[in-house]
Amino acid sequence: MKATLNGLLDSITDLQDGFELFVAPISSKLSRGIASLPDELIGLVFKYACVEIGTKQAVWLSHVSRGFRRIAISEVDLWTTLHSRARPDEIETYLSRSRQADLYVVVNITPDDYNEDLLPFFTSCFASASRLKSFSITAELDDGEYPSNLVLSNELTDLDSGELEFPRLEELCISHYKKSRDGMHSDNFAFEDFSPSWDAPVLRTIRCRDYIPTPTATAFTSITSFSLQISLRSGNNVQNFGWLLEFLESASNLSNFDLEVFDADRFECEFLWCLTRQGVPPSPIFRFASRP
């Protein structure tokens, strides 16, 4: 047995050595080739890498070499996405290196997150509220998890009680994902008491998944485009579409409304009856799609 294992180890070592001999010249050529490219082209490659792999790539690239660091730091667009999973020192780095460019905030919430967990992140982001262009919040719930213990609430997002100004904010995305296909009810749409009173004069677009915005939120009054993906998992969902109609009625400037309904095969007739009976507020463009 020992001799067999030793023979196997020798074979693997020989394979590794052969592979390294084959790869080394290619790696060397790639390194020299990339280094010889113009800085503008390398910067463009960096941007694509950050889109494909994520915002952390900007930090990693800046650590490769002095040349890469210089190029990465000079490319402001690499540092404009603030992610809630980044460390506080990384957020400060992104804020500094993005200079005065528009900022894109991405928040991921899990059942383990409470207000105090993400409060430092929100505080850092809102300190640069004047630069925020888009805000994306995703809540990922485990089966049976009730969302009222999550962080999407006024306590967190209205830190200055309506004094925050977002002059560049154009888009807000709120998505709620639940692993189980059962157990969704109207309370799941509420996300506690999220009704921001931000001053966001150019907020035009709201995109939601399994979340219906609060009709009394003053921050939502200027929207012109609303997109909603929603799953009908029980008849109760259909009965609570009055909330959706209330929101639509409060959005007096709405000109585009996209509604995509999933799991609707059982309740589609009742749902459509609800819409036609209550009446969808007039909108120049109303698109409806039903998905199995």
Q: What's the whole-model pTM score?
A: 0.76
From first to last of its 292 residues, the chain has per-residue pLDDT tens of: 777 877 777 777 777 776 666 555 544 455 566 667 788 887 887 777 776 566 677 777 777 778 878 888 888 888 999 998 888 998 999 999 899 999 999 988 877 777 778 888 988 998 999 999 999 988 776 555 554 445 466 666 666 666 788 999 999 998 876 555 444 444 444 455 577 888 899 999 999 988 888 887 888 888 999 998 887 665 555 556 777 888 888 888 888 988 887 766 655 555 555 565 555 555 556 676 666 5
Residues 102, 75, 137, 177: is their CA dihedral positive or negative?
A: positive
Say if strands 132-141 and 81-83 run parallel, antiparallel, or are unpaired.
unpaired
Across the beta sheet with 132-141, the strand order is 81-83, 103-109, 132-141, 171-178, 205-209, 225-231, 256-262, 285-291
CA distance 247 to 208: 13
For the chain, domain boundaries: 24-79, 84-291
Q: Which helix (H) or strand (E) holds 271?
A: helix 268-278
What is the token pair recorded at 193? Answer: 């008491």
